[in-house]
Amino acid sequence: MKPEEIITYCTSNFPDVVLTESWGEKGIFYNPGHVLKRGVYVLTIKEKDGENDKGSLLNRDNVYRVNAGIRKETFIKKFGSIPKRPEAGQIVTMDYDFTALNTIMPHPVYAWMGWVCVINPSPETWEEFEPLIQESYDFAKQKFAKRKV
């Protein structure tokens, strides 16, 4: 899978999403009618390390990470527990190699918020990741409804 294919998948399958590029990443936001300034995150694709997010070593050639925010209940079922928030510039304390390619795992920085990720997913791993993206989309719709009130 390439980042462009993932963007196309999201914009083709999830109504009312918009693509925004900032902070060195591409973000898919749920924002019907552009009611909110940015919308609610569904998914991000990060292609380089950031000041506070270096845990995946994304500065390697042709390496990118797909990130999605799922419900904490689902995160706990999949990974056992929610970690504590790390200090700025640090990664969460969990027993994962956050540099591993093609592995669905907690996000190295935002796992404490229920975010998951995969670096350079193969088509087969992408199929496993799709239900998590669907959940992230559904969760974003729920959060959007609360913010809009």
pLDDT at 148 over 70: no
Q: What are the backbone dihedrals phi and psi of residue 139, each rounded to the nearest 5 degrees, phi first? A: -65, -40
Model pLDDT, residue 131:
98
pLDDT tens digits, 43-98: 999 999 988 899 999 999 999 999 999 999 999 999 999 999 999 889 999 999 99
How far is it, in rounded angstroms, from Cα 35 to Cα 141? 13
- Confidence band of 34 (pLDDT split at 50, 70, 90): very high
- At the second CATH level, the architecture of 3-148 is Alpha-Beta Complex (3.90)
Instruction: Provide the residue ranges of all domains of the chain, joining segments of one domain with +.
Output: 3-148
- How far apart CA 10 and CA 130 sit, in angstroms, is 10
pTM listed for this prediction: 0.94
Buried b / exposed e across 43-59, counting CB within 10 Å, b at 16+? bbbbeebeeebbbbebe
% of residues, the chain, pLDDT over 90: 89
Handedness of CA 50, 51, 54, 60 (dihedral sign): positive
pLDDT recorded at residue 51: 87
Which residue's entry shows tokens 């592995």?
103
Asked if 42 and 10 count as a contact pair (C-beta separation under 8 A), the reply is: yes
Contact between residue 64 and residue 45 where contact means Cβ atoms under 8 Å apart: yes
Identify the band that residue 149 occupies on the pLDDT scale cut at 50, 70 and 90: low
Q: What is the mean pLDDT of residues 27-47?
A: 95
Rounded CA separation 20/29 (Å): 7
Confidence of residue 147 (pLDDT cuts 50, 70, 90): confident
